[in-house]
Homo-oligomer: A and B are copies of this chain.
Amino acid sequence: MKLKEILDYLNISQDSNIEISGLNGLKEATNSELSFLESSKYISSLKDTKAAAVFVNKEFKEDVPAGTLAIVCDEPYINLAKASKLFAPKLIENSGNEAIIGENTTIMPNVHLGKNVVIGKNCTIMHGSFIGDYVKIGDNTIIYPNITIYRDCKIGDNCIIHSGTIIGSDGFGFAHTKEGKYIKIYQNGNVIIGSDVEIGANCTIDRAVFSSTIIEDGVRIDNLVHIAHNCKIGRGSILVTQVGLSGSTTLQPYVIMGGQSATSGHLEIAAFSTIAARGGVTKSIKEPKKTWAGFPLIEHREWLKLQGKISKLLK
């Protein structure tokens, strides 16, 4: 899409012939993508961006690097939100190829297969499940009944997904206007699940706003777990029931999250960390192989001591 068309849609009068392929964050944007500066926190990312163009407030215009076009506007985030609609794929594709199904794969009745779906061999796709357009599933994977996989998501080999789980629903993203309205940020990314992953029943794994929410190989997820948009779950990690991960949480490999534990967004947990049940992680954990507990989070052995001290208050 021509940048000119986007700006016309937003009532921004600036001319440009640049061809824009999509939206992305400042760090991730390529030279055909449009980005934005939401807050001065990310100014260093702005200076290093490779984006074709960025929405910025007037005061940050000079920080936009050469080779990137500055689109000066009052509300960069609102404009990004509005523009996201222009890049949203169709809810349902009306045309496209019929699904390609590998040998020895069983598709039960009442399953929906979208356009351009590819499913490997020896899979079983059970009653009532919805396989959206352009979904790709590897070999030997089991999709239990009544699962929904939104368009564009990818699942590897030897996976087991239990009933009622939703893969690729929209991340929780919107911009607030001054008038108290919310402008939806269309979630144009997807979910990519590696191989040898088992996911329990009634989980929700949201698609990324840009690029991908990623579940790496060998991950084990229990029931009723929530994984927000743009999370990355490292290889071999274990998420016990009712865990809730906020947006852009990165778990390095082999992290264990106990039942009902949670994270706030945009943080990273070091490899081989264990978060005890109910632990609430609000800052990145940099040192690997430690065990943490509580909310606020402290080391587990400290948490045990603290509970001892607290119980003495009763004496």
Q: B254 near A180 (CB under 8 angstroms)?
A: yes
Q: A162 near B166 (CB under 8 angstroms)?
A: yes
Q: B170 near A162 (CB under 8 angstroms)?
A: yes
Q: A244 near B260 (CB under 8 angstroms)?
A: yes
Known: A127-B130, A280-B278, A314-B306. A160 touches B169 (CB 8 A): no
Tell me how many chains of this kind the complex includes: 3
Stretch of A44-52, A69-77, A143-151, A208-216 contacting B (4+ beta carbons < 8 Å): A143-151
Q: B241 near A259 (CB under 8 angstroms)?
A: no
Contacts of A169 in B (CB 8 A): 144, 162-163, 200-201, 223
Nearest CB in chain B to that of A222: its residue? B172
Contacts of A170 in B (CB 8 A): 160, 162, 198, 200
Contact-size category for A: 35 or more
Contact of A204 among B127, B148, B223 (CB under 8 A): B223
Contacts of A182 in B (CB 8 A): 218, 220, 236
- Which residues between 131 and 154 of chain A lie within 8 Å of chain B, taking CB atoms? 142, 144-148, 150
Nearest CB in chain B to that of A261: its residue? B260
Contacts of A206 in B (CB 8 A): 200-201, 223
Q: A202 near B262 (CB under 8 angstroms)?
A: no
Nearest CB in chain B to that of A182: its residue? B220
Q: A226 near B204 (CB under 8 angstroms)?
A: no
Binding site for B on A (CB under 8 A): 91-92, 106, 108-110, 112, 124, 126-128, 130, 142, 144-148, 150, 160, 162-164, 166, 169-170, 172, 174, 180-182, 184, 198, 200-204, 206, 218, 220, 222-224, 226, 228, 236, 240-242, 244, 246, 254, 259-260, 262, 264, 277-278, 280, 295-296, 298, 302, 305-307, 309-311, 313-314
